[in-house]
């Protein structure tokens, strides 16, 4: 069974230039005809310039467009896949649980806690190879943003949409995020599974430490990354993307959100993982990734077409041939055609 694909399909957008070239050519032809008419009678002008061909410019344009099209197809590199095989991959299942509560907008880590965390996760995804990744977001409740997948592009796309307003219920339910992660992992064997919790640690909703203990009893390793500083920072309030104030309590005092390092250390301890405090210079995920790389790997089997053969050379060769032909063809009539016209006209 054969399958066809382009190695670089993004180059195919350049084909949209062809209609523009044709349109410009037609406009130029019309303008040229109008200019000739201003010189005098069209038959008289034709007799004054008997060697000028009307058809050859059209032929040259067709050859140029065909050559351009073949050149674009060649750059896109058509490929033929001739073999379907199962590729074995070994990796770890990693779920990242990201806190999206309002306190993650505090700016004690620049540009703010949430944006810094998203930047770190994006770099983390770039370094994944044979692993699978999932995303969970939580505030007062926890939701699956992206199920376990090997599609790292999709993971980065879903990551880019995350913000504090994505969950209406505020709070920090770390325990709910852990429980949801346990339900989201695929398969029964857990020794190759890790949960990374990124939060400021201000848990107000449940017993996250107990949830971490239960998760580790089932074999899942839990790491925690603390976003923020123990001294804390105010929580900005935005309106239409512009900061207008800081969050106030019922008495009108500015709310200060502080990193709860103690609870995150306890969660990581019960989860047999490590705690890392993030800073503006170190987001902590590099350290976590080193720990994950030490874990037992699971073998995944994915079927895919392999042994793709390039076919770009045929298209580039055709484009070169047509360009040479277009260059050789003159805009003037050939001598034998001019003689034939004289014979046909009886002159």
**What CATH number should be reported for the domain whose range is 93-296?**
3.40.50.410
| Strand pairing category for 142-149 and 132-138 | antiparallel
Bridge partners (DSSP) of residue 301 are: 88
CA terminus-to-terminus distance, the chain:
64
Residue ranges matching CATH 3.40.50.410 in the chain: 93-296
> Which residue, chain included where needed, has tokens 């674009």?
72
Measured torsion, CA atoms of residues 334, 335, 339, 340, in degrees rounded to the nearest 10: -30
Rg (CA), the chain: 33
DSSP for 200-223 reads -----SS-HHHHHHHHHHTT-EEE
Contact 220, 185 (CB under 8 A): yes
**What burial letters (b/e) apply to 266-280, b meaning 16+ CB within 10 Å?**
bbbbbbebbbbbbbe
Instruction: Report CA-CA distances (Å) from 124 to 129, 164, 290, 324.
Output: 10, 21, 11, 50
Supply φ then ψ for residue 334, to 5 degrees. -75, 155
Judged on CB neighbours under 10 Å (0-12, 13-18, 19+), 133 is: buried
pLDDT at 77: 93
Q: Identify the segments of the chain with pLDDT beneath 50.
A: 337-338, 340, 343-344, 347
Instruction: Report CA-CA distances (Å) from 318 to 69, 151, 231, 272, 339.
Output: 10, 37, 69, 62, 33
pLDDT at 1: 58
Measured torsion, CA atoms of residues 270, 280, 247, 178, in degrees rounded to the nearest 10: -20
* Short-list 132, 219, 131, 146, CA closest to 180: 146
Q: Which residues contact 312 (CB under 8 A, 6 or more apart)?
A: 73, 74, 75, 76, 77, 78
């Amino acid at each position: 069974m054969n399958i066809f694909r382009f190695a670089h399909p993004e180059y195919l957008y350049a084909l949209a230039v062809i209609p523009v070239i044709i349109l410009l050519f037609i406009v130029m032809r019309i303008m040229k005809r109008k200019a000739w008419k201003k010189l005098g009678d069209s038959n008289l002008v034709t007799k004054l310039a008997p060697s000028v061909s009307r058809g050859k410019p059209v032929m040259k344009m067709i050859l140029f467009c065909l050559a351009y099209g073949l050149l674009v197809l060649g750059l896109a590199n058509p490929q033929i896949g001739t073999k379907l095989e199962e590729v074995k991959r070994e990796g770890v299942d990693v779920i990242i649980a990201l806190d999206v509560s309002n306190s993650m907008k505090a700016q004690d880590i620049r540009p703010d806690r949430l944006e810094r965390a998203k930047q770190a996760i994006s770099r983390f995804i770039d370094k994944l190879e044979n692993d699978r990744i999932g995303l969970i977001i939580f505030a007062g409740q926890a939701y699956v943003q992206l199920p376990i997948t090997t599609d790292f592009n999709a993971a980065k796309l879903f990551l880019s949409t995350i913000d504090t307003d994505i969950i209406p219920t505020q709070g920090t339910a770390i325990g709910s995020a852990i429980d949801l992660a346990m339900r989201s992992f695929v398969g029964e064997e857990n020794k190759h599974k890790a949960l990374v919790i990124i939060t400021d640690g201000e848990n107000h909703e449940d017993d996250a430490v107990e949830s971490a203990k239960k998760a580790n009893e089932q074999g899942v390793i839990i790491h925690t990354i603390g976003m923020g500083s123990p001294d804390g920072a105010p929580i900005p309030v935005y309106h239409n993307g512009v900061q207008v104030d800081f969050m106030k309590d019922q008495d009108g005092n500015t709310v200060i959100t502080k990193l709860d390092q103690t609870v995150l250390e306890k969660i990581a301890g019960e989860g047999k993982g490590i705690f890392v405090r993030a800073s503006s210079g170190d987001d902590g995920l590099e350290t976590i990734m080193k720990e994950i790389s030490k874990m037992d790997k699971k073998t995944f089997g994915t079927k895919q077409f392999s042994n793709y053969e390039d076919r770009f050379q045929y298209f580039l060769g055709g484009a070169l041939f047509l360009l040479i032909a277009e260059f050789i063809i003159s805009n003037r009539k050939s001598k034998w055609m001019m003689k034939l016209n004289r014979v046909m006209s009886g002159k």
